[in-house]
């Protein structure tokens, strides 16, 4: 983030997160008990996601959200959300950089491999293995470690909702043509690729991913009045 004028405060100290993850029984030897624990945690998250809808389309969200009294239409709302998107991506970038540095110290053999990440259907962070270089144990270690950054997972979840909102309401960019929700998010968005670009190009990267990977709707949310 060199050269950026953003001043982001309040980022928690996560220096010991991966060290703590490394002490979890089974993260180094692939203990099946640990894998079972992970499956139970993911199942629990999935149930929570089913009970509480992750994201739901709203026709005029600017009338429902407490944002700014001057935001009273779609154009202003989208402009506001684009600014929010940039700030959220900058924060994610800072946190992910901290995660990668800790990973290099605790698991250098994994840090040197190529991987990305996204959100799965239960809104947990899912590791993407780019070249099939990750072993099952590598994936287990990474999944535990990256989801262990509780603030990080929440940051990703919040940004995912911002992305879904923009896909639905930024008609100038998406035309209301694309379907993006938590059920297909992992097939569309790769945060590894987003984080590999410059801060200035991160928004363009996820927009390109949506336009290239997202399923197109049979209808458009844009109303055409005669």
User: Which tens digits make up the pLDDT trace of 116-128?
Assistant: 999 999 999 999 9
β-strand pairing of 125-129 with 178-179? unpaired
Alpha helix stretches (DSSP H) within 23-135: 32-51, 74-106, 108-111
**The two structure tokens encoding residue 68:** 């700014």
Average pLDDT over residues 86-92: 98
At 58, list the tokens. 């709203």
Mean pLDDT score, 142-156 = 93
H-type helices in the chain, by residue range?
Answer: 17-22, 32-51, 74-106, 108-111, 136-148, 150-169, 171-174, 191-195, 202-213
What does the alpha-carbon distance between residue 12 and residue 4 come to, in Å, rounded to a whole number?
A: 20
Residue 158 lies in a domain: yes
* 115 three-state secondary structure: strand
Query: Is 11 within the bounds of a domain?
Result: no
Residue that has been written with the tokens 């290239």 in this structure: 212
Residues 42, 123: Cα–Cα separation, whole Å? 9
Q: What is the share, in percent, of the chain residues with pLDDT greater than 70?
A: 73
Q: What is the pLDDT of residues 168-224, one digit of tens each?
A: 999 999 999 999 999 999 999 999 999 999 999 999 999 999 999 999 988 666 544
Residue 47 has pLDDT above 70, yes or no: no
- Print the domain residue range for 130: 17-55+73-216
Is residue 107 included in any domain, yes or no? Answer: yes
Q: Write out the two tokens for 159.
A: 């940004």
Sign of CA dihedral 150, 96, 103, 142: positive
**Does residue 114 lie within any of the structural domains?**
yes
Residue 141 lies in a domain: yes
pTM value? Answer: 0.76
Does any domain span residue 68? no
Count structural domains, the chain. 1
Does residue 5 belong to any structural domain of this protein?
A: no
User: Whole-angstrom Cα distance, residue 58 to residue 169?
Assistant: 9
Residue 182 C-alpha from the chain's centroid? 10
């Amino acid at each position: 983030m060199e050269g950026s004028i953003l001043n982001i405060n309040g980022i928690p100290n996560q220096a010991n997160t991966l060290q703590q993850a490394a002490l979890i029984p089974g993260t180094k030897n692939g203990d099946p008990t640990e894998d079972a624990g992970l499956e139970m945690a993911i199942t629990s998250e999935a149930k929570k996601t089913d009970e509480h809808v992750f994201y739901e389309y709203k026709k005029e969200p600017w009338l429902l959200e407490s944002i700014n009294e001057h935001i009273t239409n779609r154009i202003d709302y989208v402009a506001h959300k684009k600014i929010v998107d940039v700030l959220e991506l900058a924060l994610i970038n800072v946190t992910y950089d901290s995660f990668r540095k800790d990973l290099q110290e605790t698991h250098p053999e994994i840090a040197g491999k190529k991987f990305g990440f996204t959100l799965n259907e239960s809104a947990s962070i899912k590791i993407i293995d780019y070249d099939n270089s990750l072993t099952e144990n590598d994936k287990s270690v990474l999944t535990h470690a990256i989801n262990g950054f509780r603030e990080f997972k929440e940051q990703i979840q919040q940004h995912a909702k911002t992305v879904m909102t923009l896909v639905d309401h930024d008609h100038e960019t998406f035309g209301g043509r694309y379907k993006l929700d938590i059920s297909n998010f992992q097939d569309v968005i790769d945060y590894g690729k987003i984080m590999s670009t410059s801060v200035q190009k991160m928004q363009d990267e996820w927009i390109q991913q949506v336009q290239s990977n997202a399923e197109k709707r049979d209808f458009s949310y844009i109303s055409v009045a005669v």
